[in-house]
Amino acid sequence: MRWASLLVVLLLPACGSAAGARESGSPIPLRLGYFPNVTHATAIVGIENGFFAKSLGGEVQLSAQAFNAGPEAVEALFNGALDAAFLGPNPAINAFTRSNGQAIRIIAGATSGGAALVVRKEITKPAELVGKTLATPQLGNTQDVALRAWLVAQGLRSDLEGGGDVSVMPQSNGQALEAFIAGTIDGAWVPEPGATRLVKEGTGSVLVDERDLWPNGQFVTTHLIVATTFLKAHPDVVKRLLQGHVEANAYVNDHPAEAQATVEKAIADIAHAKLPEGTLAAAWENLTFTVDPIASSLTVSAEHAEQLGLLQNAKLDGIYDLTLLNEVLREHGDPQVATP
């Protein structure tokens, strides 16, 4: 894992929330998690272009940490190493349910779309996946749940140990691309730009565009969550974070070429490798950037995770707190988001 510094990188021991962990008069530390994926474009632009730093001001010391997948970020939050994070739906659900509804709140959306099952070109229908091996970024992450639920809907069995009609093997997005090119896996359900890379570099084909599985093609891919303790201790800081988030999201939509350049450079800096020409622009077309968390899709994801044995309780009452987001939107003159 790598750290991207906004002001001064602050490494704190895993000893609980930053709330109350500072001396009087010192800046409030805010530790923010995100992924080096195009689905986290708003987060990356907010960090790299200074939207968060500007909105937070000098009273807050912001540090940002890149993660490979949601469960890893959730563990960091539970260990007290994060205060807020951009996450997919299922890791947020897991954090909420594991803590009996206490650990986190979803405070905004960020991205819809941008996930697909890419397979070898000779595989043209679900039945041809029997005996094949597919990858997802991490067991229990958003794409992992989506793949396993889709397999069930096709009448195909997979278990959490990699057995069944179709073997599902958790791998990082970079590992999945290498394995696909090498022929050791037959496909992967991954977020962008991973899906586009599998098509372009791995000569794969899209078997399932996840947008086709949802009403109006809209489903939450990434949203912004905050530790409940931090939200209660520092609502003013969270509101300022949301101000930066709304401005970064608007920039991503209003200036796509510039935003793509920022995201492409950030991903290259973290991965130490530049994306092939045209990859990010192609991936961008599969995404919608919105601060609406698309709450209805979260409920379905929770039900899927429960049915798969990855979640004990799918009740999500209280997981959203959109009060501060709507205050920011109202102040910007933008339409407010309906509270679930």
State pLDDT tens for residues 72-82: 899 999 999 99
From 7-16, 230-239, 241-250, 270-279, the region with the lowest mean pLDDT: 7-16
For the residues of 52-81, what is the DSSP string, one character each?
HHHHH-TTEEEEEEE-SSHHHHHHHHHTTS
pLDDT at 45 over 70: yes
Residue corresponding to tokens 């510039």 = 258
Q: Tokens 């970020």 sit at which residue?
A: 73
CA distance 237 to 28: 9
pLDDT at 206 over 70: yes
Cβ atoms within 10 Å of 161's Cβ, excluding its own: 9
What mean pLDDT do residues 284-296 have? Answer: 94
Q: How far apart are CA 320 and CA 244, in angstroms?
A: 19
pLDDT for 333 beyond 80: yes
Q: For the chain, how many residues are written?
A: 340
pLDDT (average), residues 284-303? 92
Average pLDDT, the chain: 89
Confidence grade of residue 5 (pLDDT, cut at 50, 70, 90) = very low
What's the Cα-to-Cα distance from 86 to each of 33, 65, 221, rounded to whole Å? 6, 11, 10
What are the CA-CA distances from residue 150 to residues 184, 214, 314 (Å)?
Answer: 22, 12, 18
* 13, pLDDT greater than 70: no
245 contacts 252 by C-beta, under 8 angstroms: no
pLDDT band at 14; cut points 50, 70, 90: very low
In this prediction, residue 16 carries a pLDDT of: 42
Distance (Å, whole) CA 122 – CA 189 = 17
Contact 193, 283 (CB under 8 A): yes
Q: How far apart are CA 105 and CA 340, in angstroms?
A: 13
Q: Are 53 and 6 in contact (CB under 8 A)?
A: yes
Rounded Cα gap, residues 238 and 32, in angstroms: 11
| 3 has pLDDT over 70 | no
